[in-house]
Amino acid sequence: MYDAIVIGAGPAGLTAGIYLARGGAKTLIIEKESIGGQIASSPLVENYPGFKSVSGSELVDTFYEQVVDLGVDIEIGEVKSIENGEIKKVFVDNAVYETKTVIIATGVKHRKLNLEKEEEFIGSGIHFCATCDGPFYKNKVVAVVGGANSAVINAIYLSSLCDKVYLIYRGKDLRCENKLKEKVSKLQNVKILLNSNVTQYLGVDKLERIVVKDLICEKEIQVNGLFLSIGMDPETSIKLNLNKTDNEYYDSVDTLTNLPGIFVAGDCRNKNVRQVTTAVSDGTVAAINALNYLQN
């Protein structure tokens, strides 16, 4: 039996782990993919205090080391549901863990275009993380879909590896910072397609071509890979096995939900600013709330 189970090993979950362990709580963190969450895929972080310039993976390595040194258990698995009660049951793939408190720190999930063949091609031509998967497309042709900072940063990064990069955005002008707009506009091998939407994925077993529709016509473009950078939504899919809409529990104020002993931290919470600093802040507050709950 654990005192606390934290779901998600991003900055919020890892920070919660540090505070819980230091507060004397027997703690388990469960992560479905890889340690570190979203920030682990960022090549450069320059706004986290204490580190002038650091890669996301180096930053989370320091969090992870601290968590492990404090004796927090970490398991890889996807939490599917939580059964509430004085003792809570956390259902993970084929295992069930018991705990007195739970902190949900599940972050966000990537938006998709929801076109036919999208699910089939994810990992076979369609990707979300340019730093992770961009190197597979060295000297090839790729497309980036999106027009905000993350899409433009991805296009700039991919232009250093790939022969050609299409940056496809549905709006009439990119909506990134001016500096990024200037930089991407000067790159010879980046073609910016505005007022344009990808309407079809084509290929056998993997993505080979896309259909792009602009205000005038529809055309097929040959691409080896495509990176979706069209935003993210809070990851709120864990079922709380109650008769209410699950989503309302993510509408928490100050990480508290109206379920005793269940707390919510980080990007999965409904909030305006989603950054590492706000995630670690939430992880801190949720852990202290959980420790207070354990003492009462």
Binding mask 54-93 vs ligand FAD (x if CB under 6 A, - otherwise)?
A: ------------------------xx--------------
Q: What value, to the nearest 5°, has the Cα angle with vertex 280 and ends 278 and 22?
A: 155
Contacts with ligand FAD in 89-148 (CB under 6 A)? 105-108
C-beta of 38 vs 99, nearer to ligand FAD: 38
> Does 286 interact with ligand FAD (rule: CB under 6 A)?
no
C-alpha R_g of the chain: 21
> Does 267 interact with ligand FAD (rule: CB under 6 A)?
yes
Instruction: Report the C-alpha gap between 241 and 217 in whole angstroms.
Output: 48
Rule CB under 6 A: choose which of 5, 18, 25, 39 binds ligand FAD. 39
C-beta of 178 vs 295, nearer to ligand FAD: 178
- Is the separation of the CB atoms in 286 and 20 below 8 Å? no
Rule CB under 6 A: choose which of 4, 5, 6, 9 binds ligand FAD. 9
C-beta of 106 vs 289, nearer to ligand FAD: 106
Question: What single-letter DSSP state applies at residue 145?
Answer: E
Minimum Å gap between C-beta 111 and ligand FAD is: 12
E strand or H helix at 30: strand 27-31
Rule CB under 6 A: choose which of 4, 20, 276, 285 binds ligand FAD. 276
- Is the separation of the CB atoms in 40 and 131 below 8 Å? no
> Does 238 interact with ligand FAD (rule: CB under 6 A)?
yes
Q: How many binding residues for ligand FAD (CB under 6 A)?
A: 34
Question: 3-state DSSP helix/strand/coil percent for the chain, to nearest 5?
Answer: 30, 30, 40
**In a 10 Å sphere around its CB, with 0-12 CB exposed, 13-18 middle and 19+ buried, how is residue 130 labelled?**
buried
Find the part of the chain contacting ligand FAD (CB under 6 A) among 64-72, 206-214, 269-277, 284-292: 269-277
> Does 17 interact with ligand FAD (rule: CB under 6 A)?
no
Contacts of 24 (CB under 8 A, 6+ apart): none
Instruction: Report the C-alpha gap between 143 and 157 in whole angstroms.
Output: 12
Question: What single-letter DSSP state applies at residue 270?
Answer: S
Minimum Å gap between C-beta 241 and ligand FAD is: 14
> Does 12 interact with ligand FAD (rule: CB under 6 A)?
yes
- What letter represents residue 283's amino acid? G
Q: How far is CA 95 from the centre of its chain?
A: 24
> Does 42 interact with ligand FAD (rule: CB under 6 A)?
yes
Alpha helices in 135-194 (DSSP H): 149-159, 178-186
Q: How far is CA 273 from CA 36, 279, 294, in A?
A: 19, 9, 29
C-beta of 104 vs 212, nearer to ligand FAD: 104
> Does 165 interact with ligand FAD (rule: CB under 6 A)?
no
Rule CB under 6 A: choose which of 3, 4, 5, 13 binds ligand FAD. 13
- Binding residues (CB under 6 A) for ligand FAD: these are 7-13, 30-33, 37-39, 41-42, 45, 47, 78-79, 105-108, 150, 235, 238, 266-267, 274-277, 279
